[in-house]
Amino acid sequence: MARAHVELQLRWGDQDAYGHVNNVAYARLLEEARVRALWMGAAVEETGLERHFNAGGAGDQKMLVASQHIEYVRVLDYSVRPVVVEMWIGKLGGANLEIHCEILDGAAADRTVVARAITVAVMVDSVTMRPSRITDAARDAVAAWTDEPLRLRRG
């Protein structure tokens, strides 16, 4: 199956006193990649997922983050070169989906995983804010972007 890739520039404010990217910045990078891929259709690949998961394309549904688990693998030093967030759907439920991600540092030939994350997003009814089943059309669109789930260390 396929994975979507989103290139993101680090910002000066992403680093901490040690000169490496702060743990809080990782959550922001994941959020930006998720928005670009699922809402804006701005991944390197054309996924078509934005037609099903953004506020305008999801009809009467909204996507909310229910949980996010980030595993830090190595230090990410501040740099002007972009990082790449590689993302795919690791699991699809009735009203939720698990968005699996790896944050990669380095050029395409020698990219290094610096973090892994699983974000659980839930589709909810825009009025009642109760979970709402993912549409059949969205399920079909997700199928091409589904891959093996990550196995994170649990603490």
Given this model, what pLDDT does residue 92 score?
96
Q: What is the mean pLDDT of residues 109-126?
A: 92
Q: Is residue 151 part of a domain?
A: no
Residue 58: the pLDDT is 52
How many angstroms separate the CA atoms of 142 and 40, rounded? 15
CA–CA dist 12, 141 (Å, integer): 36
Tell whether 44 is covered by a domain: yes
Task: Give domain status of residue 17, yes or no.
Answer: yes
Which helix (DSSP H) or strand (DSSP E) does residue 61 occupy? strand 61-72
pLDDT band at 48 (very low <50, low <70, confident <90, very high): confident
Question: Model confidence at 136, in pLDDT bands (50, 70, 90)?
Answer: very high
Does any domain span residue 71?
yes
Question: What is the pLDDT, as a whole number, of residue 1?
Answer: 65
Q: How many domains does the chain have?
A: 1
- Taking all residues of the chain, what is their mean pLDDT, rounded to a whole number? 89
Provide the 10 A C-beta neighbour count for residue 102.
20
Does residue 114 form part of some domain?
A: yes
Q: Which residues span the domain enclosing 129?
A: 4-143
CATH number for the domain spanning 114: value is: 3.10.129.10
Residue 153 lies in a domain: no
Q: How far apart are CA 139 and CA 127, in angstroms?
A: 22
Question: How far apart are the C-alpha atoms of 122 and 130, rounded to whole Å?
Answer: 9
Q: pLDDT by residue (tens digit) across 63-100?
A: 999 999 999 999 999 988 899 999 999 999 999 999 99
Nearest-CA neighbor of 61 among 126, 122, 155, 7? 126
149 part of a folded domain? no
CB atoms within 10 A of CB 122: 20
Whether 115 is in a domain gets the answer: yes
